[in-house]
Amino acid sequence: MSFGFDSFSDTAFDVLTQLRKLGISLSTDDFGTGYSSLSYLHKYPFQRLKIDRSFVSKLEDDKSAAIIKTILLLGQNLNIEVVAEGIETETQLNKLTEIGCELGQGYLFSKPIDVPMAESFLKNGLEYLTNFEYSRLNESVLMEIENVQ
């Protein structure tokens, strides 16, 4: 069974607020699809929106580009960082940069890495990732470690 935030709204708010108090930055993933909702931006203490990769993969489509621009403007108006997910090509990176996207993630920069590789990355810096062009996105680095057990 799948639950959205609405099924445990007060508990979710309390937990997310406690995480923020600990200094943990919170993102809403896959924004623009599924359970993402504008009401969550109003209620929950998110610092970052992550634009769903489905929009990035169709960036040549005027509608997808317009949606990305709108999400960027929304983030700017709400003082929330916006990250484009699923950047796989230089063309996508160039287009995103052109329309004002400053943060991104995707295979163009690095394939997902496991915990030992992430630890090495944190110890050795950006030179650890051979295909990482962090300067292209205002020298901002966003790393996620998934499936940590």
Mind listing the domains of the chain with CATH numbers? 9-108 (3.20.20.450), 112-139 (no CATH)
What's this model's pTM, rounded to 2 decimal places?
Answer: 0.71
Out of 7-21, 50-64, 65-79, least confident range: 7-21
pLDDT in tens, 30-43: 777 766 677 778 77
Helix (H, G, I), strand (E, B) or coil at 14: helix
Cα separation, 95 vs 120, in Å, equals 31
pLDDT at 62: 92
Q: Are strands 48-51 and 81-84 parallel, antiparallel or unpaired?
A: parallel
pLDDT band at 120 (very low <50, low <70, confident <90, very high): confident
Quote the CA–CA distance of 95 and 73 in Å, as a whole number: 16
- 129 or 104, which is more confident? 104
Element (H, E) at 30: strand 27-31
**Residue carrying the six token digits 């621009």:** 69
**CA–CA separation, 111 vs 99, rounded Å?**
25
pLDDT in tens, 73-88: 999 999 999 999 999 9
- What mean pLDDT value characterizes the chain? 77
98: tokens are: 């052109």
Q: In what order do the strands lie in the sheet with 27-31?
A: 27-31, 48-51, 81-84, 103-104
Element (H, E) at 28: strand 27-31
